[in-house]
Structure 1
Amino acid sequence: MTVVTLARPDDADALSAFAETAFRHTFGHIYDPADLASFLTGWNPPDRIRAQLADPDWTIALVRGDGGAILGFVKLGPIDFDLPAGQPSEDATELHQLYVDHEAKGSGVAAALMEWGIAWARTRAAILYLSVFTENPRAQAFYRRYGFVDVGRNPFRVGNHIDEDRIWRLDL
C-alpha cells in the first residue's frame, strides 16, 4: 500500500534535491547544460519549498520508500501561468509538480499522489490546472486517465530555451 503524507519543513532540502534529480533524469537531455543549470538554480530551492509549506495556499505531499527516501511528491498551489482566453482563474488551483523516482514509475506512486492531489484540490477549488510538456506522452496519457483535457498553450522557459507546454484542465 502506498502511503501519502504531508511534507514538513525539514523535508525541504530532500525535496529540492529530489525535484532536481527527477527533472534532470526526465528532461536533462533536451537542454544545453548552461540553460539547465540556470533554470535549476532558482527553480525549487529549499527556502522556496519551506515558504510554500508555511503558506496555507500551498501543499506538498510525498511518498517515501521503506528506507525513508522520497519516491515521489506532488505540489499544488495558486496558478502561476497565464491561462488561455476563456479559461477561468477564479475558483481554480494548479498542480505545479508531480514527480516520481524513475525506478518507482509504474509502481502506483504517481496514482496515489494524483488521487491525493485531486482530493486536496476539491476542498479548495472547482478547477484544477496543470502544465505538461508536449514531448512527454507518458505524462499526457496519465493525466488523460484522470479526465484532464488540453485547453491551451503555455510557453515554459528553461534558461534561454522555450518549450511548448500545454495547459490541461480538470473540472472538479
Structure 2
Amino acid sequence: MTTITPAHDSDVGELTLFASESFTHTFGHIYDPADLAAFLAGWNPPERLREQIADPAWGLALARSEDGAMAGFVKMGPVDFDLPAGQPRDGATELHQLYVGEAAKGTGIAAALMDWGIAWARERAAILYLSVFTENPRAQAFYRRYGFVDVGRNAFRVGNHIDEDRIFRLDL
C-alpha cells in the first residue's frame, strides 16, 4: 500500500537526496560529471524546497511505501520556462518534476502521483504544462496517456550541456 501525502519541512533532506539520486540514475550517464555536479548543486537546494513547501503557489507530494520509505514525488508550481508562441501563460501551472524510485517503477505510484498533481492543478489553473526529455519515450508515453499533447521545444541546461525537451500541455 502506497500513501501520497503533501511534503512537509521535515521531508526536505530526504526529498533532496531522493531527487538527486533519481535524476542521476535516470540521466547521469548523459552528462560530463562536472556538468552533472554543477546542475545538482543548484537544482533542488534545501532552502528552495522549504520555501516551495511553505508557498501555496507550489504543491509537493510524496509517495511512501508501506515501510515509510520514499518511493516517489511530484512537484507542481508556476510555469518557469519559455512557452512557444501562442501558448498562454495566464491560467497555467507546471508539473516541474515527477520521479519514481527504480524499485517502484511499474507499481502504479507514478499514476497516483500524476493523479494528485492533476487534481492540485485543476484547483488553480486551466492549463497544465510540463517539459520532458526527447530521449525519454517511457515518460512521453505516460504523459500522452493522460491527454498531454506536444506543443513545442524547450532547452534544458545541465551545466554546459543543453538537452532538447518537449513541452507538453494538458487542458484542464
TM value normalised by structure 2: 0.99
Alignment of 1:21-40 (within 5 A): 21-40=21-40
- Give, in angstroms, the shift of residue 131 of structure 1: 0.1
- Give, in angstroms, the shift of residue 24 of structure 1: 0.3
Aligned mates of 2:120, 2:92 — CA distance in 1: 12
The answer on whether the counterparts of 2:2 and 2:66 sit within 8 Å (CA) in structure 1 is no
Aligned to 1:110: 110
Aligned mates of 1:136, 1:84 — CA distance in 2: 21
The residue matched to 2:131 in structure 1 has which SS? strand
The residue matched to 1:88 in structure 2 has which SS? coil
Residue identity opposite 2:104 in structure 1: A
Instruction: After the TM superposition, list the runs of 4 or more consecutive aligned residues in structure 1 that deviate by more than 3 angstroms.
Output: none
Aligned to 2:82: 82
Residue identity opposite 2:120 in structure 1: W
Aligned residues: 172
Alignment of 1:1-172 (within 5 A): 1-172=1-172
Percentage of pairs with the same residue:
74
- Give, in angstroms, the shift of residue 147 of structure 1: 0.2
The residue matched to 1:74 in structure 2 has which SS? strand
The answer on whether the counterparts of 1:58 and 1:76 sit within 8 Å (CA) in structure 2 is yes
**RMSD across aligned positions (CA):** 0.6
- Give, in angstroms, the shift of residue 69 of structure 1: 1.3
Aligned mates of 1:119, 1:57 — CA distance in 2: 14
The residue matched to 1:83 in structure 2 has which SS? coil
Residue identity opposite 2:42 in structure 1: G
Residue identity opposite 2:125 in structure 1: A
The answer on whether the counterparts of 1:153 and 1:166 sit within 8 Å (CA) in structure 2 is yes
- Give, in angstroms, the shift of residue 56 of structure 1: 0.7
Aligned mates of 1:70, 1:50 — CA distance in 2: 17
Residue identity opposite 1:124 in structure 2: R
- Give, in angstroms, the shift of residue 3 of structure 1: 2.0
TM value normalised by structure 1: 0.99
The answer on whether the counterparts of 1:73 and 1:100 sit within 8 Å (CA) in structure 2 is yes
Residue identity opposite 1:37 in structure 2: A
